[in-house]
């Protein structure tokens, strides 16, 4: 297994819509293994394939990675089929370094996708799991959580990030 590079804003792939996976082959299984290792190493609780530079409809999540409730979720071609309620939650992202903000999301979602065996599964989620699934599916649609903020907050982050990146240049 390998720790993959996590793409960060403003890398272009983060704004791309991911392509559906048509065949679950060794390449997809290996990618899942690498993504899981990368997510746990980061440490994070969710990771979309686009965040590691692969424009495929795939996400992994585990909202309690070090706890007794730890349960790895792997979803291929996920889609939200039911969404209800509204909640505001402070989010951060491995691809948006050094920034958190309150984001409005659905309180409960039902997500449908495939597992690694190619079987259709449906996950009814609320609370943190609902937030994580919506966040990762946004990634697969080329959207970052900062895209859900006001233009002012988004622009402030982008300006600060550009200055940070400029300082890092040799």
CA 157 to chain centre: 19
DSSP 3-state helix, strand, coil percentages of the chain (rounded to 5)?
35, 30, 35
Q: Any idea which residues carry the catalytic annotation? A: 136
- Euclidean distance between CA atoms 17 and 79, whole angstroms: 13
Instruction: List Cβ<8 Å contacts ≥24 apart for 123-132.
Output: 123/73, 123/75, 128/45, 128/63, 128/89, 129/61, 129/63, 130/87, 130/105, 130/106, 131/87, 131/89, 131/91, 131/105, 132/45, 132/46, 132/61, 132/63
């Amino acid at each position: 297994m390998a720790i993959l590079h996590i793409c960060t804003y403003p890398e272009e792939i983060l704004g791309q819509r991911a392509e559906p996976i048509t065949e679950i082959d060794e390449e997809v299984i290996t990618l899942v293994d690498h993504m899981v290792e990368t997510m746990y190493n980061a440490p994070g609780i969710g990771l979309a394939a686009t965040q590691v530079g692969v424009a495929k409809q795939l996400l992994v999540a585990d909202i309690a990675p070090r706890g007794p409730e730890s349960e790895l979720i792997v979803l291929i071609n996920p889609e939200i089929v039911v969404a209800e309620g509204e909640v505001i939650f402070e989010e951060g992202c491995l691809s948006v370094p050094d920034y958190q903000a309150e984001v409005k999301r659905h309180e409960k979602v039902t997500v449908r996708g495939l597992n690694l065996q190619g079987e259709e599964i449906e996950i009814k989620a609320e609370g943190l799991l609902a937030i994580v699934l919506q966040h990762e599916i946004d990634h697969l649609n080329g959207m970052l959580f900062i895209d859900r903020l006001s233009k002012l907050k988004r622009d402030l982050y982008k300006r600060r990030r550009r200055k940070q990146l400029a300082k890092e240049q040799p």
